[in-house]
Structure 1
């Protein structure tokens, strides 16, 4: 029961990694508030957790709207009395519009920055006073390996996630003295709807070929990392990026191609 007596808010908590985190947090004793753009799925996810013996509520949230995030945070505090953990998990971009710099839709760039960066700023700003009042807390931002290096596509998404990584350090520096920790998780290729719905099997195979581990990660792999960051087991860890990518970023970009030149 590593999160007993703690209240956690998870945005994008009704599917994929967010849903896995909601289940893990609840299983470890947290009261979980699931926010998602799809209210029905958020309510259904909370019902699943409750039926399994946990404590959870689900509600709609639009992370592009400050009042909507404020309502989500307010519900957590009103319903459970305090706030200790915030997972700023919502993010993404439209891969059909987020291309290389010359072909990228600039409106998509602005939307991507708002969805990934501004939403993280708003979530933290609105959660911080409640965490400080509770004596401390943990903010967990979802970054991505896309924020660590360049690529041929998704210029806006990679730029936004790089900003989330740096923002994480600013929050950690500014509010560490108030006992609020802030860390980021950078998932690699995870077998979630966000990946499976947008990439072909050939693209997925290419990603796996360049991992150090020969398989895709699962949502629980990221959820377990988030659980560690939410718990007091990571009490001396702040301002850090935990890269959970199957070793994708552990080696040179040419390493996989060099396999063919190894001596027999």
Structure 2
């Protein structure tokens, strides 16, 4: 298992969920991984578990709203492992109580989500790219969302920030491709992370499942495996793209599940 052998990866938001899955899978494929998270204790515990499994891992505190903290995470990675080949910008926030419709939303929440969800991606790339240029290339992977591609009754700031991630991915890919730096994004649908399981009721989960083309929800590893693919040379001719991994939730006419139920 050496798809990313001898590579060094920095992953943000890596203490749990998608970030932890990606870190664990990258380490299993030969990468040295740095798990950066606001929950430093969780990141330390996760890194220790990866080491117990035979991988190489370290952890660092990260406040994705703070430029210096992002710069320090990149510097820590390079100081510890000598380079950075893979950057997974995975931090993302949402707030269902404040991020509402355009008229009702909290404007301070708009600013907060733009800063954490979008600007952190810019800053992560800004500080990692010079090291990737020095190393002769690299792969940047950004977590977007299917909310970037569809309107909704709430989460106006979240969806807009993630749409920005999709476009920023294209800009990074365009500007640094000649340096052998690729940049792609992943747009998950509903993924059963620990946070989703804790915060979503069974009836709400059932509503989402009703509109999936597949009869189940995604798991963190469904995204983690895609991160490994985008980090590896298997995707070496792919850049500026956004992989939509959402169980077919958005591919059909939205009335199709209801019409199919009427025919049963």
Equivalence for 1:27: 28
Equivalence for 2:152: 151
Tell me, which stretches of 5 or more residues in structure 1 are unaligned?
Answer: none
Aligned counterparts of 1:142 and 1:44: Cα–Cα separation in 2? 23
SS at match of 1:94: coil
Equivalence for 2:195: 194
Aligned counterparts of 2:117 and 2:129: Cα–Cα separation in 1? 18
Equivalence for 2:45: 44
Aligned counterparts of 2:176 and 2:197: Cα–Cα separation in 1? 37
Q: Runs ≥4 in structure 1, deviation > 3 angstroms? A: none
Report the alpha carbon displacement of residue 257 of structure 1 after superposing the two structures with TM: 1.7
Task: Give a deviation string over 1:186-212, Cα, whole Å, max 9, x none.
Answer: 011100023223322211110000000
CA contact (8 A) 1:93 1:108 kept: no
Q: What is the CA RMSD across the aligned residues, in angstroms?
A: 1.0
Number of residue pairs matched? 263
SS at match of 2:10: strand
Alignment of 1:66-81 (within 5 A): 66-81=67-82
CA contact (8 A) 1:192 1:218 kept: yes
Equivalence for 1:220: 221
Equivalence for 1:122: 123
Aligned counterparts of 2:4 and 2:145: Cα–Cα separation in 1? 25
Task: Give a deviation string over 1:55-81, Cα, whole Å, max 9, x none.
Answer: 000110111111111111111111111
Q: TM-score, normalised by structure 1?
A: 0.97
Task: Give a deviation string over 1:22-53, Cα, whole Å, max 9, x none.
Answer: 10000000000000001111111110011111
Aligned counterparts of 2:180 and 2:203: Cα–Cα separation in 1? 46
Aligned counterparts of 1:153 and 1:256: Cα–Cα separation in 2? 23
Report the alpha carbon displacement of residue 15 of structure 1 after superposing the two structures with TM: 0.3
| 1:246 is aligned to 2:247 | yes
Q: TM-score, normalised by structure 2?
A: 0.97
Aligned counterparts of 2:203 and 2:105: Cα–Cα separation in 1? 23
Aligned counterparts of 1:167 and 1:31: Cα–Cα separation in 2? 26
CA contact (8 A) 1:95 1:198 kept: no
Equivalence for 2:231: 230
